Amino acid sequence: MSHTPTSSTPGNASGAAAKPTLSGVRIRQRKGQAKAAAKFEPEAFRDSLLLYLEVVPNPPTNDALVTKLVQAGASLEFLKYSEQLFELLFVGGLLQPGGSYVDEKRSPFFILQDDSELGDWNPVKGIVEVLQRVIQRYRYLQKPLEETFLPDLLGYIPKWNPSQRAKLAEAVALFVADVGIQAKCLQSLAKDHVVKDGVALSFLTAFFHTYLSKQSIEHLSSNLRKSGLRDILAVFPQQSRDRATLEAHFKKEGLTQVVDWYAKAALSGVRTNTISTITRMINDEETNEVIIEHLKTQQAENPVPEADLCEWIWLGWMGAFDWTARGDQLDTNVVQYVSRLAPSLEPFALSAKAQVNVLNTAQVYCYQETRILKAFPQLVKVLYNADCVSDQAVIYWHQKGAKPQGKQHFLKVTQALVDFLEEDSEDEDE
């Protein structure tokens, strides 16, 4: 039995229920949307933060400052105004582009402050510890500090006097060494207007003094590599940008650790370049004479210890060696290969130390590259016949100069050669 509807909803032909509508009701904006849309007012933020800081006793305590800043962070937008927060705590007031102050209003406590105004409280160490603890509470502050604020601020350091720059350098060193802030800001020291008049150099020198009082040179080296400051020579004025000036400066400053570290770092760069260049020249089928000429020119321009150079030459050779032959042919191939290239090593293997290092380099390489392990005695003979190593160097290496890697094996397989050389040497003496 069917039923026919007797009525429908007025104004709705389909019979569906009409959706309710609201009139005269104000839709409230979400809190996050309201904050995002709020007008950016750095001076208003500054004034609000100063109200919190004004009630801190003078001289302050770190605990009192941390307490007030954490309280302020609960109501003020630290993330939105992170730059202004750091400006107040580092330099005391708001900065305009270029590094000049916006007005005369100052924070009662900041890093560049005159110590005499604060009794026994040290503004540099105090603010660093305070900010460290505040950042532990508001983690989102670390990124703008290390990626934006500090790089910008170091671009302004010519604005400050030497005493203020020294304080800022100490603070940055403490942030990097103890707090774990990345040292990306050091890239700003290489800018021309900062390098001018030795400003960047004096800043980096003060930075090193503080850093090395807290951490090792290895720790510093690691952070310098991550900083993006590729070469600390970039902070020296253009007319004195050479290694001799660098070494003289840091020795005078009592920073011999920096001098030694830089020498090792420079040597590492030359090593990489030398090995890759030799490999490329061999692949390009350059003659031994051309390789020798290149290495002599390099030694004249940037001398390195002979022992190191000989090791790099060997590694450059091996970088171009064809490893695609069958296993039973590799031994023969590598002996022939080294025999062909040995004349390019001979002019540089002149000292006893260099010759022993040639043998040790070959030993360690064969130990690590086991495919040519059996070729080692023949390689020693090739190097001896090409005057790359002397009989005395081979004998010394065998008696007490060999490396520990596979030592007993290598001494055993070269025993016959050493016996021959010793007998030959005795015959010559007679």
For residue 336, is it within any domain? yes
pLDDT over threshold 60, residue 33: no
The Cα angle at residue 82 between residues 77 and 86, in degrees rounded to 5: 130
Asked if 291 and 309 count as a contact pair (C-beta separation under 8 A), the reply is no
pLDDT over threshold 80, residue 377: yes
- Per-residue pLDDT at 10: 45
pLDDT over threshold 70, residue 162: yes
For residue 26, is it within any domain? no
The residue range of the domain holding 125 is 41-137
For residue 280, is it within any domain? no
For residue 290, is it within any domain? no
Residue that wins the pLDDT comparison between 98 and 388: 388
pLDDT over threshold 50, residue 151: yes
Give me the mean pLDDT over the 113-142 stretch.
Answer: 92
Give me the mean pLDDT over the 187-193 stretch.
Answer: 96
Residue that wins the pLDDT comparison between 95 and 9: 95
User: Where among 102, 137, 172 does a domain terminate?
Assistant: 137
- Per-residue pLDDT at 104: 93
Q: Of 331, 334, 294, which Cα lies nearest the Cα of 314?
A: 334
For residue 391, is it within any domain? yes
For residue 359, is it within any domain? yes
For residue 263, is it within any domain? no
- Per-residue pLDDT at 9: 44
Each residue's pLDDT tens digit, 69-89: 999 999 999 999 999 999 999
For residue 246, is it within any domain? no
Q: How confident is the model at residue 327 (pLDDT cuts 50, 70, 90)?
A: confident
User: Where among 96, 115, 137 does a domain terminate?
Assistant: 137
Domain CATH number, residue 343: 1.25.40.180
- Per-residue pLDDT at 419: 94
- Per-residue pLDDT at 427: 58
Number of independent structural domains in the chain:
2
Each residue's pLDDT tens digit, 220-272: 999 999 998 989 999 999 999 998 999 999 999 999 999 999 998 888 889 99
Q: How confident is the model at residue 301 (pLDDT cuts 50, 70, 90)?
A: confident
User: Where among 109, 137, 165 does a domain terminate?
Assistant: 137
Give the whole-angstrom CA distance, residue 341 versus residue 291.
Answer: 10
